[in-house]
Structure 1
Amino acid sequence: MKAVGFSKHDHAACIAEQVAMAEDHCAERRLQFTPVRRRVLEILLEDHKALGAYQILDRLKDEGWAAQPPLAYRALDFLVTYGFAHKVERLNAYVACLHPGETHFPAFMICRVCDSVAETVSAPSKGLLGAAARAAGFRIEQTVVEAIGVCPD
């Protein structure tokens, strides 16, 4: 699987495709994909960098949206709850999910030079962690995999 955050691609098509997938997903499940939720998702998709809630709020303010933190936090909560975004714990920031609608365990590669974040999928039930969990009778429900390094750019 390619790590989109580090690869060259048609960025406008990437954003349009992800937003369309979110719209379809919400329509199928009768979820309200409000204009602010849509715009927050677009902001997260714009440059494949993790953004904090206040960075997102600043962008919204610059575009004429209300300036209250709950606006950004509610939109982010919706996007994370329904799988359109992930929280990058190490950065206390958010990235758009590149596999919305799929049940997966994301793993993040975070460039310490340019702050780009690439998402890929981890398989915690496989490998050493999975073997240790099975041996202990433990069922993995969530993992946080965040690798810090330097991207090719």
Structure 2
Amino acid sequence: MSDAASRERALQEAEKACLRRGAQLTPLRRQVLALVLDAEAPVGAYALLDRLKASRPGAAPPTVYRALDFLLEHGLIHKVERLNAYIGCADAGHGHGHEHDHPHQFLICRRCGATAEIADHAVAHAIEAAARRAGFAIAEATVEIEGTCARCAAA
């Protein structure tokens, strides 16, 4: 997240989204979400745990994993499987449900690890059509694309 004001707006939107769904963004969940949002790149659970221990010395892996599960369930973050790491959802709090019903694809830079979420409906429709032709019913689709980001390509 680019600055503290943007992060705070994102956290407030997340809190409102949870309340609309009858869920609670507890102080711990909020803190884990803030850590994910503050990360320069997708961040792993153990890196989050290390950062969390600065303010919660007794934090343990289950603490982080439970918070991450909640944030995933409520559409506030995504898991980038290729990296086994988490990234804030670009559309969090904007009306989609916990099933991440907006299309999402990730552009992952092989050089620097920067990851950008895009939501290209044409890509999602193409995947759905191909799956239908194969007789396959999609439950969830995440596309992870590896390559070189513009910054690394220019360097």
TM-score tier, shorter chain, comes to 0.7 to 0.9
Tell me: higher relative CO, structure 1 or 2? Use CA pairs within 8 A at least 6 residues apart: 1
State the shift of 1:66 in Å.
2.3
- For structure 1, the residue ranges without an aligned partner over 5 or more in a row are none
- The answer for the alignment partner of 1:141 in structure 2 is 139
Looking at structure 1, the residues matched to 84 and 73 of structure 2 have their Cα atoms a distance apart, in angstroms, of 16
Looking at structure 2, the residues matched to 55 and 86 of structure 1 have their Cα atoms a distance apart, in angstroms, of 16
Displaced runs of 4 or more, over 4 A: none
SS in 2 for 1:126: helix
User: What aligned pairs does 1:126-137 form with structure 2 within 5 A after superposition?
Assistant: 126-127=125-126, 129-137=127-135
The answer (yes or no) to whether the contact 1:105–1:142 under 8 Å persists in 2 is: no
CA RMSD in angstroms, aligned pairs only: 1.9
Looking at structure 2, the residues matched to 125 and 40 of structure 1 have their Cα atoms a distance apart, in angstroms, of 29
The answer (yes or no) to whether the contact 2:32–2:67 under 8 Å persists in 1 is: yes
Out of 59, 81, 90, the position equivalent to 1:89 is: 81
SS in 1 for 2:144: strand
Out of 55, 64, 71, the position equivalent to 2:63 is: 71
Aligned residues: 144
State the shift of 1:25 in Å.
0.9
Q: Does 1:54 align with 2:39?
A: no
Out of 15, 35, 53, the position equivalent to 1:23 is: 15
The answer (yes or no) to whether the contact 2:36–2:86 under 8 Å persists in 1 is: yes
Looking at structure 1, the residues matched to 109 and 120 of structure 2 have their Cα atoms a distance apart, in angstroms, of 18
Out of 8, 20, 29, the position equivalent to 1:37 is: 29
The answer (yes or no) to whether the contact 1:18–1:98 under 8 Å persists in 2 is: no
Looking at structure 2, the residues matched to 132 and 73 of structure 1 have their Cα atoms a distance apart, in angstroms, of 34
State the shift of 1:137 in Å.
4.1
SS in 2 for 1:134: helix
Moved more, 116-125 or 25-34: 116-125
TM-score (structure 2 length as normaliser): 0.83
SS in 2 for 1:59: helix
Looking at structure 2, the residues matched to 135 and 152 of structure 1 have their Cα atoms a distance apart, in angstroms, of 35
Q: Deviations over 1:86-120 (max 9, x none)?
A: 11100111111111242212111112222121111
